[in-house]
Amino acid sequence: MCGIVGYIGERDIKKFLLEGLKELEYRGYDSAGIAILQEGKLLIFKAVGKLENLIQKAKDLKTEGFGVGIGHTRWATHGKPTELNAHPQMGEFSYVVHNGIIENFKEIKSFLKEKQFLSQTDTEVIVHLFEKNLEELGNPKEAFKRTVKTLKGAYAILLITKADPNSIYFAKKGSPLIVGRDKDEVFFSSSDSPLIGYAKEVYYLEDGEWGVASKGKIEIFEGSKRVEREFKPLTINKELAQKGGYRFFMEKEIYEQSDVIIDTMMGRVKEDRIELEELDKEFLEGVENIKICACGTSYNAGLTGAYLIEKLAKIPANAEIASEFRYKEPVLLNNTLFIVISQSGETADTLEALKMAKSEGLKTLAICNVDNSSIVRLADRTILTRAGIEKGVASTKAFTTQVMVLWMLALYLAQENLKKELKENELKAMTKTPLALKVSTSLHERIKRLSKRYLHGHGFFFIGRDIFYPLALEGALKLKEISYLHAEGYPAGEMKHGPIALADPELFTIALMPKNLLYEKIKSNVEELSARDSTICAISPVEFELADDFIKVNNATHYMLEYYEMAVVMQLLAMEIAIRLGNDVDMPRNLAKSVTVE
């Protein structure tokens, strides 16, 4: 969601802040700003819209010599995306950037009656409260400590002030914040990428920690207690996070799937079994059912996982949308293994669901792509998806690797009781997945050509059965996210219970028709739609004469291989439609990569 960067040192501060914000663009934002304190002078630049607008505004600014600076990309929560609402938010002599939500901002605002508020944001209360506390306490560190103590909600905060012009004050609760260093320089960011190539060592701040940093010095506190924290080397390679010749990060990430899935399986898929070093007998002792909780694409992977676990391991499993789960007063049983799935590891609803399960004493497992993220730190156990940094807002490789982890988990849970041939069949299919995910030039070309026929119409139905139903959900989600066309994923057998009323030539049905799972059933569902003149695009290894368009996938021997091929087809189709419509594929409107507010 919002992105934060900060810097203390001698290098070109403006350059570091703007480059850092560029790295965070993929998270989604609608305005941006920077503030710099140099030689006692406070400078601020803010702009609505793309970062380019901010870069233009600050183009004459020269920042040489020592200074401190903070920067922010904002995704509006309280107050519209305007320049006044953009961060940094200002007091009389201090500036603040903030990610998260201050839940008690109204109370704080009414307490600060004498202060003049310029924005509609919840963030602005932080800077005024700090200045009021400073008036009373006369010491910036004490004033910041008291400020942080008053705040309720979620936050990652950086604050600079003329009252202590060489320092940055910081605090973290519920939103990610990293502090990095290299000799005398200090860096801050809400995620790794802006720090790559700058900070040698980093520390991922924990909830409740706050502190103050100045040249060569970082003090971290927990309440009033000063704490020493271990900084670890930042080893991630920046090149891996670049676009590398593709038109969009999303395209690069679709093509990468065939490789990253090998990383996901490495050391886990063995010749005769699945090995998951993250799990053991003791941890799974007493587990009689499984609940999976996630949002968006991760939920779609989770639903696939629930089908696979029941199919292979015969353990009752279900998947729930985290934002629903949180408030439905769920009944939690202590023989349940609670699995959360998240690419970012920071999704607020998923994190809260995990907290609920933990507080009820359930065993918890995270399937996540970002090590050290909030969800990973909280869960009892984690299986990392190893997809690498995913920059496109529309998730692709995170999804296919999540599904792979779930498939491995299902087989891991099943393997003691599964017949040898069945187990071998699964393992063999897994090793063929990289091939199923490979994008061939001819397939991509065909989809590119086909995409021009799907730019209008009154809606899309993606339909499938069994695990191809969550895959249909995912296909529809991809399309609507980046093309802004209306699309729904539906269980094919359910169409006749209502949605078929919409069928006409302007209704596009994308039918997932695997040969290895319920082919005859889905075929008759598609025939029903065809009889009502819906325009049908069938994705299948089996020719289907009633289809208006047909995308042939390989004649695989396992339904999961068909699943993966179809996933790629739908990702490419959504992307090519979005490109033809002139949309920003990597940063679709209204969306954020990491949704850290509920």
Query: Which residues would be at the binding site for ligand AGP (CB under 6 A)?
Result: 295-298, 342-344, 347, 350, 393-395, 481, 591, 594-595
- Residue 393 CB, nearest distance to ligand AGP (Å)? 5
- Residue 387 CB, nearest distance to ligand AGP (Å)? 11
Give the SS3 label for residue 539.
Answer: strand
CA 409 to CA 222: how far, in whole Å?
38
Task: Choose between 124 and 481: whose C-beta lies nearer to ligand AGP.
Answer: 481
Token digits of residue 459: 């809606």
- The answer to whether residue 2 is catalytic is yes
- Residue 399 CB, nearest distance to ligand AGP (Å)? 7
Give strand pairing partners of 225: 222
CA 57 to CA 49: how far, in whole Å?
12
The residue type of 240 is L
- Residue 322 CB, nearest distance to ligand AGP (Å)? 8
Give strand pairing partners of 488: 461
- Residue 499 CB, nearest distance to ligand AGP (Å)? 22
C-alpha closest to that of 483 among 584, 592, 401: 584
- Residue 126 CB, nearest distance to ligand AGP (Å)? 26
- Residue 395 CB, nearest distance to ligand AGP (Å)? 4
CA 294 to CA 348: how far, in whole Å?
10
Task: Choose between 160 and 579: whose C-beta lies nearer to ligand AGP.
Answer: 579
- Residue 162 CB, nearest distance to ligand AGP (Å)? 38
Give the SS3 label for residue 13.
Answer: helix
Which listed residue (22, 172, 423, 593) is catalytic? 593
Give strand pairing partners of 340: 293, 366
| Pairing between β-strand 487-491 and β-strand 217-222 as defined by DSSP bridges | unpaired
Which listed residue (2, 293, 295, 537) is catalytic? 2
Token digits of residue 57: 């505004």
Max Cα–Cα distance, the chain, nearest Å: 80
Q: What are the DSSP calls for 307-323, one per residue? A: HHIIIII---EEEEEHH
- Residue 249 CB, nearest distance to ligand AGP (Å)? 12
CA 388 to CA 371: how far, in whole Å?
10
Q: What is the DSSP letter of 518?
A: S
Task: Choose between 9 and 176: whose C-beta lies nearer to ligand AGP.
Answer: 176
Task: Choose between 167 and 594: whose C-beta lies nearer to ligand AGP.
Answer: 594
The distance from CA 474 to its chain's CA centroid, rounded to whole angstroms, is 15
User: Which residues have C-beta within 8 Å of that of residue 136, sequence separation ≥ 6?
Assistant: 143
Task: Choose between 71 and 296: whose C-beta lies nearer to ligand AGP.
Answer: 296
∠596-388-300 over CA atoms, to 5°? 55
Task: Choose between 63 and 594: whose C-beta lies nearer to ligand AGP.
Answer: 594
Task: Choose between 357 and 393: whose C-beta lies nearer to ligand AGP.
Answer: 393
CB 63 within 8 A of CB 8: no
Give the SS3 label for residue 77.
Answer: coil
Task: Choose between 193 and 415: whose C-beta lies nearer to ligand AGP.
Answer: 193
CA 155 to CA 101: how far, in whole Å?
6
Q: Which residue is nearest to ligand AGP (CB)?
A: 296
Give the SS3 label for residue 463.
Answer: strand
CA 321 to CA 303: how far, in whole Å?
10
Task: Choose between 213 and 295: whose C-beta lies nearer to ligand AGP.
Answer: 295
CB 178 within 8 A of CB 192: yes
CB 160 within 8 A of CB 130: no
- The answer to whether residue 593 is catalytic is yes
Q: Where are the beta strands (DSSP E) in 437-534?
A: 459-464, 487-491, 507-512
Catalytic site residues? 2, 593
